[in-house]
Each structure stands twice: as structure tokens, then as C-alpha cells.
Structure 1
Amino acid sequence: MHLAELAVMKQRLAAERAHPIAATVAARDEAGAFLNSGDFAGGLAIVDRAVVEAETTLRGRDRAYGLGILHLRGLTLAGRLKEKATAERHIEAAWQVAEEFPEDIVDHGIHFGPENTAVHVISTASDMEDYRESLNTADDLVRGGLTLPATRVGPLHMNISRSKLALGDRGGALESLEAAWDVAPEMARVHPTSQELMRVLTSLHRRSNPRLTRLAKRAGVPF
């Protein structure tokens, strides 16, 4: 975490000498360092300040993109805090600016658009234990087709699996976890959500389950 904090500090200093959008990206990444260290309230404070700055310094497409990536970070942080009102504020704002992008784009190495907004909303709904909303959003997203890379689709399937498991659908949870492994096996092997899902599924299944056995073998989990 010390190295991560050093990286975002240097990024922020460099952004002061660059285009205003660089400062927005730096703030988003700094809030991400707070997210990864568990200081969700601190990360939200960074996002709130950056949103105000972006609204006054950015114009046109940069403004929509900058605000979009900030609100995605904000809704994730609010979801971890289970602050429903704050999360809904960021969700509404993210959807609003996502409407300016017919399809997802990649800028500064970060995806933004309708699909990635939906992916974040699905994850945050699960964090706030609104599992039915998470699955409803996922159904709409998958039905429309996915263009996001495996690094985004893998976690999507993990969060779908998480919601299904919470609602008692073990078979569906296993199916979605298998999908995560199929699209991004290297990520699924080390991702904390994937590991926790595997732990819970193997502990719940007392009978032989060939599909789960195969997946557990891929994950290196005794079963």
C-alpha cells in the first residue's frame, strides 16, 4: 500500500502540469488506493472534491468521461460503506453521463460507458445486499451483448454468482462462477471473490458434484 500511495502521489503531481483530465484520472486512482486499503470514507471525500473540480475545469467529452469514471469510483466506495443514498446519487449521475456514449470507450486505460456502468452497478447492488436488483441489471446487460474485455467480464460473472448464491441458487451460482473461469481463468484463480465463492460452494455441497469437483481442481481447492 505504501508503494500504491507513492504511485498516486507522483501521478497527482504530474497531473498538475498536464491537461485537466489528467487531474481527474489521478483523483480517481487516488480514491482507488483508499478503496484498496479499506478507507472507503476517505476515498469518497477525494471523489467528491474531484467531481466539483471536474465540473468546473472540464468541457465536452472530457467532462462526461471524467465525471463518469469519478462517479463509478464513488458508487463503489459508497456500496462498500452500505450508504444507500450516496450510492444511488453516484449511480444516477453515472447513468446520466453514460448516455453521452453510445458504446463503451477506453481512455487513459480506463473503460467508461453504458456497459461498464452496469458492471459497477451490479457489483455495488451486491455489496448493499440488493441481490435481486443486481441480477435484474445483469440480465439486461447480458441480453444486450458484451463488448468489454475479459478483465471486466470475469468480475461481472463473479458478482452475478455472488448474488445468485445469496438468493439460494447454488446451481446458478456455480454456473456463473464457471463462466468467470472460462473468460478469465488467471483472474478467477486469484480473485478474492472467486476464492470466497469456491470456498462457500464446496462447503455447502455434501454430495458429489462433478462440475464443482472439476472447478475446484482447476482452482487447486481440495474437495
Structure 2
Amino acid sequence: MLDEREAIGKRVRRQRLRLGMTQADLAAKLRRSQGWVSKVEQGRIELDRAKLINEVAAALHCHPNDLIERPFIAGKASENQWQVAAASILRELRRYDLTPTFDGQPRTSRQLWQETERLHRLRDAAANVSILRVLPDLLREAQALAEVATGHEREEAFGVYAVCCKFAHTAAHALGHPELVAMSCERASWAAERSGDVVLPAVASWMRVWDMWATADWHDAITLSDKALQAIEGEYAAGEPLAVRAWGTLQLRAAVSAARAGLPQETEDRIRMARTAAERMVVSEAPVFDRHSLTFSPGNVQIHSISVQLEMGDHAKALLLHERADHEQVAILPGSRRGYHHMDIARAWLWDGNRDRALAELEKAEKIAPQLVRNHPVARATLRKIVYAERTVTRERLRRMSDRFHLDG
């Protein structure tokens, strides 16, 4: 894993030289020192924040995956089979406006929505590989229904198709497949506009905001969030449950964007508005089916309030908010969300100098969402820093002991 850190530095250097940039040029773009760039290229500084990775990639005019070499190739062939499913999904998305290759009669939209509940459960467990395996057939069937249905049933078929694209988008981000990320986002927007669902286009914009982070376009991400918020403002004001969820989720997206843009007051304002939306959510005896699969809740607002502090480099405040959090609300979040949260707390403890607690949090994250964590660049960077620090301490202890034993020669 230490070799991996050095390899990232070499890829930064190779891309910089490919563009004919000096270290001073790159440093100026990043508002860093030339010495900092030199240490990154030597593997002596870890790119351990998504904001940092994305900004370096944007300055070098490449995708972040080009620097961190995603997707990571596992040692076992069986662990790489998800790429076969990803290729099948891409095939379906490319032929979105052609006659679907579907034998027989497609099920009703009601039945297809019920089928998406399986995807919700897999998403909650961060089982991204399993999600990709389910999607090709479901996309094909939703497209077939849209082909033969009319009126509201046809609109619902497009709604199912758009939400399937959202699941593909989330899994592709987690596993590191930029082509699938981009195409699923485009197709989600296309289908959402045909769905008759007034909230679904805003959900598609929420996906686009995530993609803007890859190019460090923080201000554009805020602008797009606001455009989507404006589109559902009336439904939110009326208390429409799915609009409230989408509104809160978009505010959280905007909060992360503002934190990465270095806008602390706007970050706090967005968290506050998301918290207000969470308070408006009414728990009834018959909960609303979250057909858009947005994991918005008071617990989700709490973990985002911690995450944005880390984005702004304030690990002490992040740990304080973690201590004050309602851990019962966090505990009921889906596994994918809790996995991200424990990765964040691991980073906070590491920056605080407590490697033992950092490792314990990283172990919790891996136990909850193994596929997500083992393949996540920030989790890998955090573990590398722990390993490197432990080796450094061990070397120093051995040096001192050898001195005491007079083993210099």
C-alpha cells in the first residue's frame, strides 16, 4: 500500500510533464508551494481528501481516477466480475432510443417499482456489485414497458428507468467506473423529463452535482443545486413528502460543495436548511415509499454536519459534533451511509494523532460496508498513513534500542 502512495505521486508527475507544466506552474494553480508538489510526486504527502484529489486532477486536466488508478483491480478474478455487469449496463444505456431486446410481455410499472425495493436493500448494504448484476435486466424491461405503454403507465416506466440509472450511478461511483457514471447520469436526466414526476428531474440534478465534484467545480455545483431546489420549491412548501426529501438532500449536496469551495458560512446555512427539512419529515403509520431512493433523515444531516467540518480541515470540531450526535439516529442509517461516516471519523482521529482510534473506526467502516471501504481512495489513503506512521515509530524504537545495545556496527 505504501507503493500505491508512491505510484499516485508518479502519476501526478507523469501527467504534469505530459502537459509541459513545471512544479511551480502546478503549485500556482493549486495555491500551494513548489515544495508541496515535489513531496506529493515523491509520495511523501498523501492525497487523503476527495477535495484535494479532485483539485489536483482538475489542475492537471484529467479525471481523478487517472491519478488514483480506479477501479482498483482485485487479486481474485471473481472480485473483478462486476466489470462484466457494468459493460452490460452500458450496452443498455447506449441503446436507450432503440427497440428494446425483450422477449415476452413486460410487467406493470407497479411490479417494476416493487422490484426496485430489492435495489434499495442492496444499496443500504453497500452491495454495489450485486446492484450492477440486477440492473441490466431491469433497465431492459423498463424500456420495453415504455415502448408499449401509454399515458401514466408509460411515464411510470420512464420513472423506473431513471431510478435504475441512479442506482447504476451510485454503484459506479463506489467502484470507480467513470464511463458508467457519466452515461447513467445523462440517461437519468433524459428519462426523468419523460416520467411525469415533478421531483425526479431534481434528483437527476443531484446526480450531476456529484459529477461536478470530480472536476472541482464547487461553485457550479452550488448553482446547479439551487436551480434544482427552485424547481421543487412549490412542492416543498406544500409539504409533499418526496419533495421534502429531495430538498433536504440537495441542501446537503450544496453544503459539501460550499465546504470544498471554502465557504464556511454558506456551509452552515445549507446544513441548517437541511436540518429544517428533516424536521418537516412526518413519520406516519404508513411511511411514504421513497421511490427516488434518497437516504435523507435527521441522522443523515448529522453525519453531513461532521463531514463538512473535515472538508474544511477542522477535525476537532468534527470530533466534537460526533461526540454530541444522536448515535441512535446514526445507527439506523443504511450501511453505505454509516460506512462513509466511520471513514470520516477515522480521518478525524488520525489527524488528531490517535492512530488506534482511527484504525478502530476504519475497521467498523469495513465491517459495515466492505466493498465500499476497500475500494475507496480516502479509506485506502487513511490506512496507508496509519501503516506508514506505525512503521516510522517502529523503526525509531528499534534504532534507539540498537543504540542501547551498541549494535551500530
TM range (shorter): 0.7 to 0.9
CA distance in 1, matches of 2:197, 2:370: 37
CA radius of gyration, larger in? 2
SS in 1 for 2:325: helix
Aligned length: 208
Match of 2:318, as an amino acid?
S
Aligned pair 1:124/2:308, yes or no? yes
Aligned pair 1:68/2:236, yes or no? no
Aligned pair 1:161/2:346, yes or no? yes
| Partner of residue 88 from structure 1, selected from 268, 281, 287 | 268
Give aligned-pair identity as a percent: 27
Match of 1:176, as an amino acid?
E
| Partner of residue 360 from structure 2, selected from 150, 175, 194 | 175
Alignment of 1:34-53 (within 5 A): 34-53=212-231
CA RMSD of aligned residues (A): 2.2
Q: Which runs of 5+ in 1 are unaligned?
A: 209-223
| More displaced 10-residue stretch of structure 1: 18-27 or 179-188 | 179-188
CA distance in 1, matches of 2:327, 2:227: 36
Asked whether the equivalents of residues 102 and 113 of structure 1 are also in contact (C-alpha less than 8 Å), the reply is no
CA distance in 2, matches of 1:135, 1:107: 34
Q: CA deviation at 1:2?
A: 5.1
Alignment of 1:1-223 (within 5 A): 1=178, 3-17=180-194, 18-58=196-236, 59-60=238-239, 61-101=241-281, 106-141=290-325, 143-145=327-329, 146-206=331-391, 207=393
CA distance in 2, matches of 1:203, 1:107: 44
CA distance in 1, matches of 2:371, 2:185: 26
Using the size of structure 1 for normalisation, the TM-score is 0.84
Match of 1:111, as an amino acid?
T
Q: CA deviation at 1:193?
A: 1.4
| Alpha-carbon distance change, 169 to 142 in structure 1, aligned in 2, over 3 angstroms | farther
Match of 1:165, as an amino acid?
L
| More displaced 10-residue stretch of structure 1: 109-118 or 60-69 | 60-69
CA distance in 1, matches of 2:197, 2:367: 39
Using the size of structure 2 for normalisation, the TM-score is 0.47
Match in the other structure for 1:220? none
Query: Which protein has greater RCO, CA pairs closer than 8 Å, 6+ apart?
Result: 2
| Alpha-carbon distance change, 117 to 107 in structure 1, aligned in 2, over 3 angstroms | farther
Q: CA deviation at 1:29?
A: 0.9
Q: CA deviation at 1:187?
A: 1.7
| Alpha-carbon distance change, 152 to 167 in structure 1, aligned in 2, over 3 angstroms | same
Q: CA deviation at 1:66?
A: 1.8
Match of 1:86, as an amino acid?
E
